[in-house]
Amino acid sequence: KAGVTQTPRYLIKTRGQQVTLSCSPISGHRSVSWYQQTPGQGLQFLFEYFSETQRNKGNFPGRFSGRQFSNSRSEMNVSTLELGDSALYLCASSLGTSGGQGIQYFGAGTRLSVL
Amino acid sequence: DQQVKQNSPSLSVQEGRISILNCDYTNSMFDYFLWYKKYPAEGPTFLISISSIKDKNEDGRFTVFLNKSAKHLSLHIVPSQPGDSAVYFCAARWEYGNKLVFGAGTILRVKS
């Protein structure tokens, strides 16, 4: 069974630009969550999509947005990039149903550098 | 506010001995607690989880203990192996949503 696939693995952008990251979840998983990892803040929850709807949202500005397609693939967009957006962006997939063990399976991440 | 805390930034253990990683939490609205291992340039890998209504879960060399009254959990690795050297994250899932809250991580070094 294929794991979670994130593309691209690395990105370099300049301030003010926008960026789109992609995530393909494990087959059969309907929930996709996004996390930001930085040295200072650790792993922080951005948002979760389930069946094409945003179900949970973290404390990030509106410049961070996402969407999910009917095949469960998800994209995350960051507009008007700032230097502080440089981070590892991780996507995690799970069944997303209640009663599960809360296990989320992570991709390798996209390393975004904002210059 | 840090709802999940890992107060030890690093831990060094001799191969074959026990590694104990600790985690504290402040919120009672978590229904599952999970441990992940992370190598550089890779995403976190799920290790083991425990329900908030249990006090112990075991899987091979890994055992997680939960003390709800103290809001504390620990991961025991026995015996420790050099390949266990990685960053270990404690995470907690909100009871009413599929959101994980992570601790800052503990770097485990297993010396051979």
pLDDT digit string (tens) for B67-105?
A: 999 999 999 999 999 999 999 999 999 877 788 999 999
pLDDT for residue A12 is more than 80: yes
- Looking at every residue in chain A, the average pLDDT score rounds to 93
Banded pLDDT at A96 (limits 50, 70, 90):
confident
pLDDT for residue A32 is more than 90: yes
Q: For chain B, first and last CA: distance in Å? A: 38
Q: Which residues in chain B touch residue A92, judged by CB atoms under 8 angstroms apart?
A: 43, 100
pLDDT at residue number B32: 93
Residues 30-49 (A) with a CB less than 8 A from some CB of B: 31, 33, 35, 42-45, 48
What tens digit of pLDDT does each residue of B1-37 get? 679 999 999 999 999 999 999 999 998 889 899 999 9
What tens digit of pLDDT does each residue of A48-70 get? 999 999 998 999 999 999 999 99
Banded pLDDT at A25 (limits 50, 70, 90):
very high
Question: Which tokens belong to B12?
Answer: 């060094």
Task: State whether A33 and B98 contact (CB < 8 Å).
Answer: yes
User: Which one-letter DSSP state was computed for residue B7?
Assistant: -
pLDDT for residue A100 is more than 70: no
pLDDT at residue number B76: 98
pLDDT for residue A98 is more than 70: no
Q: What are the residues facing A75 on neighbouring strands?
A: A22, A67
3-state SS track over A62-102: CCEEEEECCCCCEEEEECCCCHHHCEEEEEEEECCCCCCCC
Task: Please name the residue that has the structure tokens 């050099």.
Answer: B82
Q: Which residues in chain B touch residue A107, judged by CB atoms under 8 angstroms apart?
A: 43
Q: Contact A11/A113 with Cβ under 8 angstroms?
A: yes
Mean pLDDT of A38-43: 85
Question: Which tokens belong to A26?
Answer: 């494990």
Alpha carbons B61 and A47: distance in angstroms, whole number: 33
Task: State whether A109 and B93 contact (CB < 8 Å).
Answer: no
